[in-house]
């Protein structure tokens, strides 16, 4: 495996200005303007040497392409020097094709079931989703083996609900510079702030019915 690096080291690297670190990986969005233009970018990315040996998620849509990079081994799930090198190469290919990056368009979703004892409910979520335990944290994280669905992280609840049950909320990972605007928009749309003492790692919001969502960033995480 290429040398592991921290999220901060990735952000501080030269040539990765197009990319934003969300959760454990780095993502970039390139505006293509058409499905055909995006397909040409994907084809060019496929020609980058060793790209098949690195876990790369590419999402092609009619108006652009999202590329996500993360290094995965049996005991590691995060960033590496190879991610920096590949990010630079992908950005270079996009520039050659005249496709600009738009960092404001990237985000990722994490679903968080809570339970008094997470080990008792993890098998259910694994079975109902068809997911697999994440290699470096199998007791608490489940991931889509095809890399398509949102990740699930099972959280132990300090204070169970009155009926003894659990609760589910979601975390939306966004670029740091987008976070406060996203929080403000949610408040303006009828939400309320539940807690912000962990910001900028996350702000917890709730809708009028009490359903919670975290706006999360990696700015204070490594």
pLDDT of 37 reads: 98
The answer to whether 66 touches 59, Cβ cutoff 8 Å, is yes
For 134-178, write each residue's pLDDT tens digit: 989 999 999 999 989 999 999 998 776 666 567 899 999 999 999
pLDDT of 53 reads: 74
pLDDT of 40 reads: 98
pLDDT less than 70: residues of the chain: 1, 55, 160-165, 222
At residue 30, the 3 state secondary structure works out as strand
- Domains identified in the chain and CATH numbers: 4-105 (3.30.1360.20), 108-216 (3.10.180.10)
* Cα 34 from Cα 20, distance rounded (Å): 23
pTM (two decimals): 0.91
């Amino acid at each position: 495996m290429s040398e592991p690096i921290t999220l901060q080291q990735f952000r501080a690297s030269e040539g990765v200005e197009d990319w934003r670190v969300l959760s454990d990986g780095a993502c970039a969005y390139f505006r293509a303007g058409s499905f055909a233009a995006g397909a040409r970018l994907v084809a060019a990315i496929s020609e980058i040497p060793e790209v098949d040996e690195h876990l790369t998620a590419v999402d092609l849509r009619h108006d652009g392409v999202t590329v996500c990079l993360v290094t995965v081994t049996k005991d590691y799930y995060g960033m590496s020097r190879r991610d920096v090198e590949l990010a630079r190469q992908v950005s270079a290919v996009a520039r050659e094709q005249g496709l600009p990056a738009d960092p404001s368009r990237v985000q990722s979703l994490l679903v968080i079931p809570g339970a008094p004892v997470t080990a008792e409910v993890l098998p259910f979520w694994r079975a109902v989703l068809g997911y697999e335990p994440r290699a470096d944290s199998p007791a608490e994280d489940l991931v889509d083996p095809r890399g398509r669905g949102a990740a699930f992280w099972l959280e132990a609840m300090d204070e169970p609900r009155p009926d003894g049950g659990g609760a589910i909320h979601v975390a939306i990972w966004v670029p740091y510079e987008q976070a406060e605007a996203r929080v403000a928009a949610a408040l303006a749309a009828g939400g309320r702030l539940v807690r912000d003492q962990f910001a900028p790692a996350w702000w917890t919001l709730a809708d009028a019915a009490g359903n919670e969502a975290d706006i999360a960033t990696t700015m204070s995480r490594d």
